[in-house]
Amino acid sequence: MQRRQFLKTAGLGAAGVAAAPFVATAHADETYTWDMVTSWPKNFPALGTGANDFARRVEQLSNGRMKIRVHGAGELVPALEVFDAVSAGTAEMGHSTPYYWRGKLPAAQFFTAVPFGMSTTEMNAWLYHGGGQELWDEVYAKHNLKPFAVGNTGPQMAGWFKKEINSLDDMQGLKLRLPGLAGEAMNGIGVSTVNMPGSEIFTSMQTGVLDAADWVGPYNDMAFGLHQVADYYYTTVWNEPTATVETMINLDAWNALPEDLQDVIREAARASNLAMYTEFAYRNAQALETLVDEHNVQLREFPDDVVQALYESSQAVIQNQVESDEDSRRIYESYANFQNLIRPFSDIGEYAYLKGRDAVGG
């Protein structure tokens, strides 16, 4: 009877989970307490609170059988050492984003964002239905990790610049905080990029270590006060048309979990992925209005020659990576094939609608 009840409840699917949390009774006497290390300051808006939200969902869906203790960046391990800590079992879980690990696993970058690549809706479709998750599992397993998407920032701004960019010449020699494939593409047009935790950006801009910085979008950028250290906010979305936030789980710890708690984590991850994305859409809209109306932030778009140069550099960076790394080749082949499949519908669907809405002033 217990088995029948579990199957009946689990059959509700993702929609049923939120309304009526499922709890299997197998191994009901076993409880688990895990540590989650993150790349975000404790309780940082959307990203840090997203980690808290995921932990809460897991505890709720497991009826208290699984508790996750969330640690902000630097509490147990530094922000950019989450990957190694979880791989080694120092913590059972991590909360971060895959392109931070390009020095350890170059192929991971494709699971965060690809310059001029897929949107958030398209990216999630690839992960959930197009084979992306299976490839992600495969490459992370080599590092004793199991990954899940647990959030998304949506499209990210090009960043904050201390000086106005009027041509490609103005980009030469700039020191810019920008990770991932986009950072490599910027290097290719004469910019010098670095990767650093978000918590270090403000001071680096203030002291002249950086001339410009990408972080996330209006909501998180305003939380770090970046409008106080740069006059120009470049909104051109090229670098991160989407940005997946991940949880990674130590594979030994994952394999030791009973199947029902694995299902709890899987469904909590899906719910948290949607929750973060929709929160960013709402909060970014509010923050952008505040930045412009109250702080007089100057919005700008990159000139055409800069965008064209970034596109060409991005293609060269991707090509170099897929030629030098077999995992990158297989992942990007799947990614590109899926983008080619879904793009025609995206173009005649949401993109065409938004263009039409703007044209009539809706």
DSSP 234-273: E----S-S--EEEEEEEHHHHHHS-HHHHHHHHHHHHHHH
From residue 108, alpha-carbon distances to 7, 89, 138, 331, 355 in Å are 35, 20, 11, 9, 33
For residue 238, say whether it is annotated as part of any ligand binding site: no
Q: Are strands 93-96 and 192-194 parallel, antiparallel or unpaired?
A: unpaired
The tokens describing 347, both together, are 């173009």
Tokens 């140069």 found at: 309
Q: Is 221 annotated as a binding residue?
A: no
Distance between CA atoms of residues 150 and 254, nearest Å: 16
CA distance 108 to 58: 25
DSSP conformation letters of 65-107: SEEEEEE-TTTSS-GGGHHHHHHHTSSSEEEE-GGGGTTT-GG
**84 carries a ligand binding annotation:** no
Q: Is 215 annotated as a binding-site member?
A: yes
Which strands form 159-161's sheet, in the order they lie side by side?
Answer: 192-194, 175-177, 212-213, 159-161, 232-234, 298-300
- Running DSSP on this structure, what letter comes out for residue 349? I
Q: Is 254 annotated as a binding residue?
A: no
Task: Point out the annotated binding site for Na(+).
Answer: 215
Task: Point out the annotated binding site for substrate.
Answer: 156, 177, 214, 240
Task: Point out the annotated binding site.
Answer: 156, 177, 214-215, 240
